A and B are shown apart, each in its own frame.
Chain A
Amino acid sequence: MGIIFILLYLLFLIIYIAFYGYVIHRIWNMRIKGDHTRKGIYLYSIIVVSIITLSFIFLSILPFI
């Protein structure tokens, strides 16, 4: 049961990263000289990577197999 959840989670992550990769690409093309888009995208990326990393750390602690 746990494995199925993790597989579904991985599938979600693939779709999520692909979609937001495209969104960031669109936003990157809208940039204005001297704006804060770069910082915004960096901050967003850091938050997303932190959430995913923490989730994997917590999942790795659990004896699910």
Chain B
Amino acid sequence: MSQEYYFTVPGREFADDEILIFSHRHLMVFLGPLIITILLTIFPLVFGIILGSYSAESPLSADVKIMIIVFMSVYYLILSSYLFIEWITYYYDILIVTENTIVDIRQNNVFNREISHLHLRQIEDISSEVKGFFPTLFNYGDIIIQTAGAQERSIIQSIPNPQKVAAMILQLHKNVLAQNKDLEGD
């Protein structure tokens, strides 16, 4: 096993399977937290400049200045951590499709991760949904998979090119069914 290949869940199972689709969520999903962080980064700086808190001639006492520096430092540390955790949540939300399996990895936060495996044989119906202004503009959306098993409906969210991905999964599903028929025929 390569030193970099720490991803334990699909790593072993995909040893013989070729990964055909490997997709993160669309980058637009991360845009919201990024804009919030940029605005929250600028806001205290502008506010401080307007109040003149950072100038050498500021009438504030040394204690107040220490308080401002400490609060600003804590504020920016928490803000950078927020962005980092949002990035991790975005980056580790992954859809993997192989010749036989769909693996949907949902990273809800650093300490909450859901991994669902679905065999292509189990699929009964698959559809894609692009809803809203930005999803239509940037071509991303959800894939809804209907299965025969206990978990009847599986939704894979904010995937780029959902129609194309759904069509590919459907084609793979047909291939698996055809293979099974051939095996039964033999």
Contacts and interface: CB of A to CB of B under 8 A. Distances in A.
Interface of A: 1-2, 5-6, 8-9, 12, 16, 20, 23, 26-37, 40, 44, 47-48, 51-52, 54-55, 58-59, 62-64
Contacts of B15: none
Query: Interface centre among A9, A12, A32, A33, by most B CB within 10 Å?
Result: A32
B182 interface: no
Contacts of A54: 73
A59 B66 contact: yes
Interface of B: 2, 4-7, 62-63, 65-67, 69-70, 72-74, 76-77, 80-81, 84-85, 87-88, 91-92, 94, 110-111, 113
A5 B66 contact: yes
A12 B5 contact: no
B114 to A, nearest CB: 13
Contacts of A27: 88, 110
Contacts of A23: 85, 110
Given A5-B70, A27-B110, A40-B87, A64 B77 contact: no
Contacts of A2: 62-63, 66-67
B67 A51 contact: no
Nearest to B5: A33
Given A40-B91, A48-B77, A64 B7 contact: no
Contact of A62 (B7, B65, B84): B65
